[in-house]
């Protein structure tokens, strides 16, 4: 009997260990919640003081405190680390809010993240300033970008769309009110269209008009036709479509003038025109020309894009531009347009210059990070904006069919914009899926 119990216990223990090993590789989220989180939390609590001390993140206590320690508590005066205000476990890591003592700044912690990461045995540590005097240490227990799963709470709302996951486990959101115009760069097969696909999936659920410009004959965007208010698939169509958008911008400015306001969002809800997001897949197709006769068209397109990028924010027209490179080699107007695009997302690039085109003017320290994105991780990118902050992100793998289904489900949200009617893409009527016929055949002789 004792043998049997021992055998059962040993088999149980082995199966448990095997299961945990399997979970560690296959279901890191489960492994983290069951094993990683309690172990890391314990390690953090036990070694916090000594780790901060050896990392140079302590300060001498204030005069009064030192006096009380020496004379009342009769202890030796020791340097103090930042006070822990809150520790919170998440499904991807551990978040710790610290109150910084006088003499420490967030940059001091940022400089030691690599040492803290090793001290607590976590995958990554990032530091975010939550309010003056407070920072949040965001630790991740495993590589969250290996298989991306968006946080459950991340849902599209207002004009904010969660499109990717940040390295620290939080959602990267594209906020059109904060960064109205954006540029996405990346080499062939780096994940630009996947980024735009995720964006369309979120935008489709919001009350906005979606305008697609896909000069690769629409191979990417025509699947989303049920939710698009307009789609241009050739440079000629794009020129006409952009001219219509510029005219629409003019009309909207007239409307603002009539109401005596300077921004679309100040208009009363009933009269406010619906926001328009213009998604351009492969901008170079609009800039490059093969013959002299196309020059005029190029000029029209570039002028329209620059005008929209400079003024359209106030009337709720937003640009989302994708391209492989976007520098002066695209010709006149390219760098001027680029300067207007605040949000930047740079995927894997083939050369440092491309990373610099996207990031050098707003977040120069992110340039080497973008240049090091490995080929086997498509969808990984560096996202930055003009505030100087940047983060490493990766989009979730989303199929075109899934996004097309969302577009069909939200087709009723297509707003009524008469100016865009001529550009409305053709949507084939849904054919019922072929299946076995439910009609019983009757013999003709009956």
Residue 141 beta carbon to ligand ATP: minimum distance, rounded to whole angstroms: 21
194 binds, among Mg ion, ligand ATP, none (CB under 5 to 8 A by kind): ligand ATP
93 binds ligand ATP (CB under 6 A): no
User: Strand, helix or coil at 294?
Assistant: helix
Stretch binding ligand ATP (CB under 6 A), from 130-138, 188-196, 199-207, 294-302 = 188-196
- Spatial contact of 140 and 37, defined as CB atoms under 8 Å apart: no
Contact 165, 172 (CB under 8 A): yes
56 known member of a binding site: no
Does 193 help bind Mg ion (rule: CB under 5 A)? yes
With tokens 């949507």, the residue in question is: 427
Inter-CA distances, 358 with 286, 342, 441, Å: 19, 10, 65
Q: In the complex with ligand ATP, which residue's Cβ is closer, 186 or 425?
A: 186
Q: For residues 296 and 284, what is the distance between their CA atoms, to the nearest angstrom?
A: 16
Nearer to Mg ion, 322 or 393 (CB): 322
- Taking the least distance from each CB to ligand ATP, the nearer of 161 and 249 is 161
The response to whether 259 counts as a known ligand-binding position is no
Select from 72-80, 171-179, 193-201, 373-381 the region that touches Mg ion (CB under 5 A).
193-201
Query: Binders of ligand ATP among 297-326, rule CB under 6 A?
Result: 324
Give the residue, chosen from 5, 71, 188, 437, that forms a contact with ligand ATP under the rule CB under 6 A: 188
Contact letters for ligand ATP, residues 389-418 (x by CB under 6 A): -----xx-x---------------------
Q: Is 309 annotated as a binding residue?
A: no
Which span (45-53, 54-62, 187-195, 255-263) binds ligand ATP, by CB under 6 A? 187-195
Largest CA distance in the chain: 113
Quote the CA–CA distance of 352 and 306 in Å, as a whole number. 26
Check whether 187 is labelled as a binding-site residue. yes
As a whole number of angstroms, the distance between CA 150 and CA 301 comes to: 36
Answer whether 140's CB lies under 8 Å from 122's CB. yes
The structure tokens listed for 250 are: 């003019």
Does 229 bind Mg ion (CB under 5 A)? Our answer is: no
Based on the shown chain and the rule CB under 6 A, indicate whether residue 226 belongs to the binding site for ligand ATP: no
Is there a binding annotation on residue 193?
Answer: yes
- The residue among 141 and 191 lying less far from ligand ATP, judged by its C-beta, is 191
Which residue's Cβ has the minimum distance to ligand ATP?
Answer: 379
191 lines the binding site for ligand ATP (CB under 6 A): yes
Q: How far apart are CA 266 and CA 276, in angstroms?
A: 17
170 binds Mg ion (CB under 5 A): no
Q: Are 117 and 168 in contact (CB under 8 A)?
A: no
Query: Does an H or E element contain 427, and which?
Result: none
Query: Given candidates 95, 192, 298, 392, which one binds ligand ATP under the rule CB under 6 A?
Result: 192
Give the residue at shortest CB distance from Mg ion: 193
Q: Is residue 381 within 8 Å of residue 164, measured between CB atoms?
A: yes
Q: Least distance from C-beta 208 to ligand ATP, angstroms? A: 22
**CA-based radius of gyration for the chain:** 28
DSSP codes of every residue in 400-426: HHHHHHHHHHTGGG----GGGGGGPPP
Q: 128: annotated binding-site residue?
A: no
Q: How far is the CB of 147 from ligand ATP (least distance, A)?
A: 9
Name the one residue in this structure whose structure tokens are 């990392």.
55
Q: Is 149 helix (H, G, I), strand (E, B) or coil?
A: coil
d(CA 25, CA 22): 6
Per-residue mark of binding to ligand ATP, 357-396 (x: CB under 6 A): ---------------------xx--------------xx-
Q: For 162, which DSSP code?
A: E
Nearest-approach distance from CB 442 to ligand ATP, in angstroms: 49
- Helices 400-409 and 192-203, packing angle to 10 deg: 20
Stretch that binds Mg ion, among 26-34, 70-78, 136-144, 192-200 (CB under 5 A): 192-200
Q: Are strands 390-394 and 380-384 parallel, antiparallel or unpaired?
A: antiparallel
How far apart (Å, rounded) are the C-alpha atoms in residues 164 and 174? 9
Q: Out of ligand ATP, Mg ion, none, which partner does residue 191 contact, by CB within 5 to 8 A per kind?
A: ligand ATP
Instruction: Please give the residue ranges that form the binding site for Mg ion (CB under 5 A).
Output: 193
Binding residues for ATP: 186-193
Pick out the residues of the known binding site: 186-193
Contact positions toward ligand ATP, by CB under 6 A?
186, 188-194, 324, 378-379, 394-395, 397
């Amino acid at each position: 009997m004792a043998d049997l119990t021992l055998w059962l216990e040993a088999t149980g223990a082995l199966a448990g260990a095997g299961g945990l090993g399997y979970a560690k590789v296959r279901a890191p989220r489960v492994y983290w919640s069951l094993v990683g989180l309690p172990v890391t939390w314990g390690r953090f609590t036990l070694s916090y003081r000594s780790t901060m001390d050896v990392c140079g993140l302590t300060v001498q206590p204030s005069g009064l405190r030192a006096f009380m320690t020496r004379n009342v508590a009769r202890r030796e005066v020791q340097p103090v680390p930042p006070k822990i205000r809150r520790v919170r476990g998440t499904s991807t890591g551990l978040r710790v809010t610290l109150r910084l003592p006088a003499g420490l700044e967030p940059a001091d912690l940022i400089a030691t993240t690599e040492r803290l990461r090793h001290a607590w045995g976590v995958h990554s540590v990032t530091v975010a300033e939550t309010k003056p005097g407070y920072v949040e240490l965001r630790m991740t227990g495993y590589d969250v970008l290996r298989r991306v799963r968006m946080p459950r709470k991340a849902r599209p709302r207002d004009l904010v769309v969660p499109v990717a996951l940040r390295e620290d486990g939080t959602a990267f959101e594209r906020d059109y009110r904060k960064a109205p115009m954006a540029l996405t760069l990346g080499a062939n097969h780096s994940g630009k269209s996947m980024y735009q696909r995720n964006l369309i999936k979120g935008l489709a659920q919001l009350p906005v008009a979606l305008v697609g410009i896909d000069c690769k004959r629409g191979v990417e965007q025509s699947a989303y036709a049920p939710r698009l208010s307009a789609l241009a698939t050739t440079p000629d169509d794009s020129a006409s479509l952009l001219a219509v958008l510029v005219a629409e911008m003019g009309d909207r400015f007239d409307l603002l003038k009539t109401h005596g306001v300077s921004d679309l969002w100040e208009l009363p809800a009933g009269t406010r025109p619906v926001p328009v997001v213009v998604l351009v897949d492969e901008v170079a197709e609009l800039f490059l020309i093969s013959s002299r006769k196309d020059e005029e068209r190029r000029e029209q397109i570039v002028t329209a894009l620059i005008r929209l990028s400079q003024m359209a924010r106030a009337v709720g027209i937003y640009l989302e531009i994708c391209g492989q490179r976007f520098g002066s080699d695209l010709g006149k107007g390219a760098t001027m347009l680029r300067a207007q695009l605040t949000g930047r997302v740079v995927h894997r690039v083939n050369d440092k210059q491309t990373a610099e085109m996207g990031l050098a003017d707003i977040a120069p320290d992110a340039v080497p990070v973008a240049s090091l994105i490995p080929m086997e991780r498509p969808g990984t990118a560096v996202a930055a904006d003009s505030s100087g902050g940047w983060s490493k992100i990766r989009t979730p793998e989303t199929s075109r069919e899934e996004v097309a289904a969302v577009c069909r489900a939200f087709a009723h949200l297509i707003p009524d914009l008469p100016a865009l009617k001529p550009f409305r893409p053709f949507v084939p009527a849904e054919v019922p899926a072929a299946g076995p016929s439910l009609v019983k055949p009757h013999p003709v002789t009956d």
